[in-house]
Chain A
Amino acid sequence: MDKKITKESKGRHENGSQQETPFKNLSGFHIKSLYAPEDISQFNYETDLGQPGKYPFTRGIYETMYRVKPWTIRQLGSLNSPAEANQRIRQLIQMGSTGVSICLDMPTIMGRDSDDPLCEGEVGSAGGVAIDSLADMRSLLEGIPLDKISINFVSNSQSSVILAMFVAAVEERSFPIERLTGTMQNDILKEYQAQKSYYFPPRPSMRLTIDTIKFCSQYLPRFNPISISGYHLASAGATPVQECAFTLANGFTYVEEGIKAGLSVDSFAPRLSFFFKVHNDFFENIAKFRAARRIWARTMRDKYKAKDPRSWMFRLHTQTSGSSLTAQQPENNIIRTTIQALSAVLAGTQSLHTNSFDEALSIPTPRSEKLALRTQQIIANESGVINTIDPLAGSYYLESLTNKMESECYRYFETIENLGGVISAIEKGFFSRTIADSAFKYQKKIEEKKRIIVGLNEFVEDEEMDIELRETDPEFERRKVADLINLKKSRDQNLVKNLLNEIREVIQGTDNIMPSLVKAVKSYVTLGEIIGVMREVFGEFREESIY
């Protein structure tokens, strides 16, 4: 059988396309022409899969999966101004969204206020919302039924401050914070590895993350204080197996840091959540999710001695692949997104974000955003794939691929371990280098037509497709800056100074920073001011520019 494959690989694909090595998935695994019982000869249903909702959760983390509750349809509800984002969230709820993700604009992501000179031209950028103070958070959440919709803040290095503002705004509405659901992305490890929106060195950043985890385990028991994210690793170029392995390794690092900080594993591990990308290779995506669930369950139970089954569950939000979208023939992206979304559903995701087809060109329009949401509703209501739980289990190919994904992850864990663990591997540039290598190899394959992307390197059309793009409000930045300057002037300046001094003192010690942050934001101390003090105490991180 192997000989035959070698012959096929050298020749043309049977469908006549030019791909030279079509039988490899994105992780580089060689795919055989046929899978049969001998490929999973060691297969044991109970130990390898288990029933849905049962250890090791390969078939899904819930017993009933989508039969009782479909996945959360979680689209992006952010636009430059908090008030506009609020309108957008209301529209999404009205269209049937059951969750919403809030992206921040670049200044907020980088811990700077809208009036910071470094932010000129970027206020409200990247389709994100500008959050300077509690006033913005209040306006963002106004009238949103927090008991009906869960909010996911795509917030990382600044999460402690955003969480403080969220708590302060919710308390004003007399909504009991212990009932708050939702997620703070708050995954700083992947910032150093891929997303690069870091401010401080890894170790103080980790301390802030652990402070938020502790605070949530005490006061917000239904809120996910972290969403450990592979998505950004994959966007930066990590292959699916690298995404899977690095994300899990990061997850275990947070577990270890939590334990080191004195928390019992079962007091916080049930609230750790994850975020993956689904890329173009359909079965590889599904194998990735299954392998991740199994590895997480086994490691949490056996290595970290978690006793609560909820600590073993790999709960997952998924987004279709932004980096798979092409600027060329953009409507083709609708189809890509549909296939990716279907694979996420067949893989048992808890929540899903489908991208809009025009995202390689610009911030999406309301029309393209609606189409993305409807894609999920069509899969949920029309395709029939949700009628039975985990319909693909037992497939020779899929189970074999899942095993391979799992064993390759363990090889990466060993590499990372040999480098002294995740933080040390970050400091040694391992992730940046590995991911840059993968990104470059992928680009070469496309340019050499070893991987075909329709409309990009094959079936290319000279004529450009004309699509409508979103216009951004050129006056927004000026208004936002003026509002913020007024707000800053109207505060009790001595109080602001004292609150910032309190923050400085707490972060120089070891107490949890969260109570002081909640107190400060209530008096309109801004995000940029708080992060500014932290920069002075913690210092700034600079990465060697590896390419």
Chain B
Amino acid sequence: MTQGKRIRILIAKPGLDGHDRGAKVVARALRNAGMEVIYVGLHQTPLQIVNAAIDEDVDAIGLSILSGAHKTIFTKVIALLKKRGVPKVLVFGGGTIPKKDWNGLKSMGVGEIFTPGSDTSKIINYLNRTLKRDKNV
């Protein structure tokens, strides 16, 4: 991310589930907070998500998962990012992701998890903080 450029975020609903309320609310909140949001919508495969992230040159990818398939999906997305040479793209997630799975996901490289009921300002602050910090390094 270059200085002064707006933060670009890709929001996606990976997998088969169509519960997109959370993804859409977060997408709109991030847009209202001044970020550039690319919402790619439903039923995205990890490969489609990573391709879109590269094409759109995003700073972060937010994945909303409520089906319980979070382990499989995050593993694939992060592996693909590494394989495609863009491991620095921040990956964060939201949905019904039980706390007991958080450590595993974070050690795999997921930046943060936001469960149902999270304030959108918490997500905005997190992205601003994390992406700015990365830029300064």
Contact = CB atoms under 8 A, between A and B. Distances in A.
Interface residues of B, number: 36
B25 A122 contact: no
A230 B43 CA distance: 23
B45 A125 contact: no
Nearest to A110: B16
B119 interface: yes
A327 interface: yes
Contacts of B25: 237, 436, 439-440, 443
Interface string A353-366: 00000001111000
Contacts of A363: 68
B8 to A, nearest CB: 16
Contact of A436 (B15, B24, B67, B73): B24
B42 interface: yes
Interface in A417-452: 436, 439-440, 443, 447
A520 to B, nearest CB: 23
Given A125-B69, A440-B25, A543-B41, A106 B115 contact: no
Contact of B71 (A121, A236, A326, A361): A121
Contacts of A110: 16, 43
Interface string B41-78: 11101000000000000000000001111011100000
Interface residues of A, number: 44
A122 B28 contact: no
Contact of A362 (B28, B40, B43, B96): B96
Contact of B29 (A196, A443, A472): A443
B18 interface: yes
B120 A447 contact: yes
Contacts of A440: 24-25, 28-29
A326 B120 contact: no
Nearest to B20: A196
Interface in A339-374: 360-363
Given A196-B42, A236-B21, A447-B120, A106 B67 contact: yes
> Considering residues B16, B23, B73, which has the most beta carbons from chain A within 10 angstroms of its beta carbon?
B16
B112 interface: no
A112 B16 contact: yes
Given A120-B72, A439-B25, A326 B116 contact: yes
A547 B68 contact: no
A543 B39 CA distance: 12
A362 B20 CA distance: 17
A398 B44 CA distance: 45
* Chain A interface mostly: loop
B125 interface: no
Interface in B6-28: 15-21, 23-25, 27-28
A543 B20 CA distance: 12
A323 interface: yes
A236 B45 contact: no
B24 A547 contact: yes
B22 to A, nearest CB: 9
Nearest to A472: B68
Interface string A533-547: 000000000010111
Contact of B39 (A326, A327, A447, A547): A547
A125 B70 CA distance: 10
Given A118-B45, A195-B18, A447-B121, A439 B24 contact: yes
Contacts of A107: 16
Nearest to B12: A545
A456 B117 contact: yes
A464 B116 CA distance: 14
B68 A125 contact: yes
Nearest to B118: A327
A121 B69 contact: yes
A197 interface: yes
A334 interface: no
Contacts of A362: 68, 96, 98
B100 interface: yes
B30 to A, nearest CB: 10
Given A112-B16, A196-B20, A547-B27, A126 B42 contact: no
B98 A197 contact: no
A349 B120 CA distance: 36
B20 to A, nearest CB: 6
Contact of A122 (B24, B40, B41, B67): B67
9 closest Cβ contacts across the A-B interface? A121-B72, A196-B18, A545-B41, A106-B16, A547-B24, A121-B69, A110-B16, A547-B27, A122-B69
Interface of B: 15-21, 23-25, 27-29, 39-43, 45, 66-69, 71-73, 96, 98-100, 115-117, 119-121
Given A196-B18, A362-B68, 4 more contacts: A107-B16, A196-B19, A327-B116, A360-B96
Interface of A: 106-107, 109-110, 112, 118-122, 125-127, 191, 195-197, 235-237, 323, 325-328, 360-363, 436, 439-440, 443, 447, 453, 456-457, 464, 469, 472, 543, 545-547
6 contacts: A120-B72, A122-B68, A360-B117, A436-B24, A543-B42, A545-B39
